[in-house]
Structure 1
């Protein structure tokens, strides 16, 4: 079985109707999504509870029970994927102070954009931070968080804080997962005594960033400054699967948290290929997330263009592979904030020509 997780497909009915009206690839005005419409019409579509991309991924990997809304420990998982955490030392009783047994927190540099009466979270990739800029900022900010943990730069836009053993475990969410909040309004940190040290540290960091030479140089060059840090994805590496799933042979996806989650289940993880190619393995999982950011930001032109690419590069060859028996079972999971869907289609379904193709509006959110 090949399982695809494709976020960004779920819109309200009228929005999907407008987005797909007149969606054609060329001047022939033929439908541009014949393969995906065929898959939707001939497969079995099941409505699921709302979930995020990472929650859907955790369930597919067996790291969370079906319907679970518990967020993944993103900091620990991406540290594992990027080689910053050594899992082999986790069982070494001679060295109990191991990184795999530590609590971690994502502390990512972001730019909050002033938008009318709110602050909007920009995609961190738009910062285009260099390694030198990220390291210089982190060196200046490290003392601000020294009482809580050790700051670590994994990539220019992915920073982790390794929490001290003396730092109380986070029993609350400091901020919502950053990938789920891009292009949305920023939320304040939680109130209360437990969050007070974090509010103080973040406020101190914001003041330091405001006058930092790196930011001043970026603004002078017309680049967005880093004006805050986003604390999310706390926890430590999962040690036991919570949901018994058949062992996966492979995972493909470009999200480093997803890659870490796969590694946590001893599943080989690779970057997603640009297009579908016939797989010589069974029971694989793939994350195709190019629709997610356009959907969140409301960039309808980009969303339509990416959907057409998915039709050509993935849905059409997948339908052909089903018909030829290269894969016997395709499962597509479409996570969303208002609803999620699972589409199951087997080889014999692909040949049921008497079943009509279905429009994309069958995936409309309630």
Structure 2
């Protein structure tokens, strides 16, 4: 049973008629609901113990293969703009930094975080990390997707648990504001790095298993989970162009143990052409039994060959 991880249905643009296979699967398959969100999708695809997921520890394992002995917290580079008395977070993560720029920006930050016992490093230009003792107690941090476009300070941890992190953020912002790398980037019309964003803290899970054997994804967190579950991992091109159009063919004839990460797809017609129609054709030829769709809004659909006779059913309404 191949599993397709998909975005929220409301994020799929285009006329529903441009994706007849999707409409058929939604209407005639067996539907159920799971909690919404990325973490719920991962728990549905993997058996994870303990259940707490740390994106920081998992992406660190993907980036550096050294996450096992410590706790980790993402401290990603970001850009905040003063706007009507607030600091609006406009970008976080991939800001197009060169390796030399990353190293220069980290140099004055190392004493700040090193003195706290939290060494900072950046094995990837858009993913920066603080290494923490495993026993450290962290407040709840918001993921960047929940903060982008909003006042950064509305999402900082409050009270005594968050006091240290508010202080560290303020001190980091002062260092970055005065950094010559940012002066040069501003002169070139490039986005400056004037803040960090802390999020995703924790340790690697103790155990990860999955009913699937192969993952096709570019997401570092998902790839790390698959590695811990001893799955084989490969890339998946979901962008425009010939490679993406041949996606299923390049992946190979999808078998029951394949998990496809299509959460970045935003166009119904592209989803239909590149993935759903070829998978449905494989099922009609008897090469697949059940096809499973798992949407980020919590809808889970399993479509078996016998469901083709449910011609009277209509797809559920898309959440607004």
Give yes or no for TM over 0.5. yes
Query: Within 5 A, what are the aligned runs for 1:161-240?
Result: 161-164=130-133, 169-173=136-140, 175-186=141-152, 187-240=154-207
CA distance in 2, matches of 1:279, 1:184: 44
CA distance in 1, matches of 2:284, 2:91: 39
CA root-mean-square deviation: 2.6
Give the secondary-structure state (helix, strand or coil) at the position aligned to 1:312: helix
Which structure carries more strand by proportion? Answer: 2
Match of 2:6? 6
CA-CA distance at 1:142 after TM superposition: 1.2
Give the secondary-structure state (helix, strand or coil) at the position aligned to 1:195: helix
CA-CA distance at 1:52 after TM superposition: 1.7
Match of 1:63 among 9, 26, 48: 48
Check if 1:149 corresponds to 2:118. Answer: yes
CA distance in 2, matches of 1:279, 1:181: 40
Check if 1:276 corresponds to 2:248. Answer: yes
CA distance in 2, matches of 1:117, 1:253: 40
CA distance in 1, matches of 2:272, 2:306: 21
Deviation digits for residues 55-101 of structure 1 (CA, Å, limit 9, x no counterpart) = 31133111169xx7x4x21121112112331xxxxxxxxxxxxx512
Structure 1 residues 283 and 74: alpha-carbon distance in aligned structure 2, compared to 1, 3 A threshold: same
Whether the 8 Å CA contact 1:206–1:227 is kept in 2: the answer is yes
Whether the 8 Å CA contact 1:333–1:343 is kept in 2: the answer is yes
What 5-or-longer segments of structure 1 have no aligned partner?
25-30, 86-98, 292-302
* TM-score (norm. length: structure 2): 0.86
Structure 1 residues 106 and 288: alpha-carbon distance in aligned structure 2, compared to 1, 3 A threshold: same
**Matched length:** 308
Match of 2:270? 309
Give the secondary-structure state (helix, strand or coil) at the position aligned to 1:289: coil
What 5-or-longer segments of structure 2 have no aligned partner?
238-243
CA-CA distance at 1:280 after TM superposition: 5.2
Whether the 8 Å CA contact 1:108–1:230 is kept in 2: the answer is yes
CA-CA distance at 1:53 after TM superposition: 1.4
Match of 1:81? 62
Match of 2:95? 127
Check if 1:290 corresponds to 2:290. Answer: no
Deviation digits for residues 107-128 of structure 1 (CA, Å, limit 9, x no counterpart) = 1111124555654433436621
Query: Within 5 A, what are the aligned runs for 1:235-250?
Result: 235-241=202-208, 247-250=211-214
CA distance in 1, matches of 2:189, 2:31: 48
Whether the 8 Å CA contact 1:74–1:257 is kept in 2: the answer is yes
Give the secondary-structure state (helix, strand or coil) at the position aligned to 1:272: coil
CA distance in 1, matches of 2:133, 2:179: 27
Give the secondary-structure state (helix, strand or coil) at the position aligned to 1:313: helix
**Higher deviation after alignment, 203-212 or 316-325:** 316-325
Give the secondary-structure state (helix, strand or coil) at the position aligned to 2:161: coil
CA distance in 1, matches of 2:290, 2:248: 15
CA distance in 2, matches of 1:206, 1:216: 14
